[in-house]
């Protein structure tokens, strides 16, 4: 991929040095890795009820059966919702304890015709206040990286669908004091993300951070092990990368994250 002067300026702004053919300028980023078609298809109908059972293990068999039925019914209902009904369902959701401490839910942002879907982890304090995912310093870094690829989260600009992204989190409510999400919370919230994906039908998914990866790939492997290749989620190519909040603390991995986005861009450009 060759960069325009504007893109190179953006990369410099992010602290990344671009390598040009014939140039001896050092590029801290390792060469973009080839794109093996590593396909690990996930079952089409993810079993959130089963995950929730694992998290609430001591339940006696009869109670577990009731929980299964209730969760299945809820999941089936969410799978029928259109965008406005889905947003309303998230706004009024009380399916896990995070509803008690949130200021507001964080549904998602971007164009509903977007080809890219970026999936993050959970809202932080800024997101809880604003109701939008990826705001604050991490959001600014993400926006800079997107701009370098001529992508935008805006849904009211002149850009074509190919340049638009939709951004959502795995969890729609902020965990108190930004603690890690619990398995039962991820399972309870999963049907909302599944429905967003089904409605959006993106050409590409970028999973940012450990909990987004765990939710979508059902893998406990670290991000560093899963990045650099193309996975599949229900037939949609999925690229794993670091969360921007982590990149703010780990400059060395910024260049790897840029490689990941370049890999994602090459996938999105495929016919």
Q: How far is the CB of 174 from ligand SF4 (least distance, A)?
A: 8
- Is 117 in contact with 171 (CB distance < 8 Å)? no
Binder of ligand SF4 out of 32, 99, 236, 248 (CB under 6 A):
99
Stretch binding ligand SF4 (CB under 6 A), from 15-23, 168-176, 217-225, 237-245: 168-176
Q: Which distant-in-sequence residues (6+ apart) come within 8 Å of 119 by Cβ? A: 167, 168, 169, 170, 193, 205, 206, 207, 208, 212, 215, 216
- Is 165 in contact with 114 (CB distance < 8 Å)? yes
Q: How far is the CB of 173 from ligand SF4 (least distance, A)?
A: 3
Stretch binding ligand SF4 (CB under 6 A), from 26-34, 49-57, 94-102, 249-257: 94-102
- Of 23 and 94, the one with the shorter C-beta distance to ligand SF4 is 94
- Of 18 and 105, the one with the shorter C-beta distance to ligand SF4 is 105
Residue 213 in contact with ligand SF4, rule: CB under 6 A = no
Q: How far is the CB of 18 from ligand SF4 (least distance, A)?
A: 39
- Of 189 and 239, the one with the shorter C-beta distance to ligand SF4 is 189
Stretch binding ligand SF4 (CB under 6 A), from 91-99, 152-160, 204-212, 216-224: 91-99
- Of 149 and 215, the one with the shorter C-beta distance to ligand SF4 is 215
Question: Which residues, 116 to 145, sit near ligand SF4 by CB under 6 A?
Answer: none
- Of 95 and 167, the one with the shorter C-beta distance to ligand SF4 is 95
- Of 227 and 243, the one with the shorter C-beta distance to ligand SF4 is 243
Stretch binding ligand SF4 (CB under 6 A), from 66-74, 145-153, 166-174, 223-231: 166-174
Measured distance CA(168)–CA(193) in Å, rounded: 8
- For the chain, the three-class secondary structure string (H helix, E strand, C coil) is CCCCHHHHHHHHHCCCCCCCCCCCCCCCCCCCCCCCCCCCCCCCCCCHHHHHHHHCCCCCHHHHHHHHHHHHHHHHHHCCCCHHHHHHHHHCCCCCHHHHCCCCCCCCEECCCCCEEEEECCCCHHHHHHCCCCCHHHHHHHHHHHHHCCCECCCCCCCCHHHEEEEEECCCCCCHHHCCCCHHHHHHHHHHHHHHHHHHCCCEEEEECHHHHHHHHCCCCCHHHHCCCEEEECCEEEEEECCHHHHCCCHHHHHHHHHHHHHHHHHHCCC
Q: How far is the CB of 187 from ligand SF4 (least distance, A)?
A: 9
Question: Which residues, 174 to 203, sit near ligand SF4 by CB under 6 A?
Answer: 185, 188-189
Q: How far is the CB of 168 from ligand SF4 (least distance, A)?
A: 11
The tokens describing 206, both together, are: 């970028």
- Of 173 and 213, the one with the shorter C-beta distance to ligand SF4 is 173
Q: How far is the CB of 73 from ligand SF4 (least distance, A)?
A: 15
Please give the residue ranges that form the binding site for ligand SF4 (CB under 6 A): 90, 93-96, 98-99, 105, 171-173, 185, 188-189
């Amino acid at each position: 991929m060759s960069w325009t002067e504007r893109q190179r300026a953006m990369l410099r702004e992010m602290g990344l040095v671009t390598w040009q053919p014939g140039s001896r300028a050092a590029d801290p980023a390792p060469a973009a890795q080839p794109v093996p078609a590593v396909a690990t298809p996930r079952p089409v109908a993810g079993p959130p009820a089963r995950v929730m059972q694992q998290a609430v293990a001591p339940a006696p068999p009869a109670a577990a059966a009731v929980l299964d039925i209730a969760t299945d019914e809820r999941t089936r209902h969410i799978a029928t919702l259109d965008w406005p009904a889905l947003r309303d369902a998230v706004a009024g959701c009380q399916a896990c304890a995070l509803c008690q401490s949130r200021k507001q839910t964080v549904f998602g942002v971007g164009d509903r015709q977007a080809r890219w879907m970026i999936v993050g982890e959970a809202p932080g304090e800024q997101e809880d206040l604003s109701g939008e995912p990826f705001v604050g310093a991490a959001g600014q870094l993400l926006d800079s990286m997107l701009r370098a690829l001529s992508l935008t989260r805006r849904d009211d600009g002149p850009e074509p669908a190919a340049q638009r992204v939709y951004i959502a989190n795995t969890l729609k409510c902020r965990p108190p004091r930004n603690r890690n999400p619990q398995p039962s919370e991820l399972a309870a919230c999963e049907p909302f993300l599944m429905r967003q994906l089904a409605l959006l039908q993106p050409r590409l998914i970028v999973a940012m951070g450990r909990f987004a990866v765990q939710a979508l790939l059902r893998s406990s492997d670290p991000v560093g092990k899963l990045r650099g290749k193309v996975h599949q989620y229900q037939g949609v190519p999925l690229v794993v990368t670091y969360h921007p909040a982590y990149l703010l603390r780990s400059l060395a991995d910024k260049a790897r994250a840029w490689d990941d986005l370049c890999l994602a861009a090459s996938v999105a450009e495929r016919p």
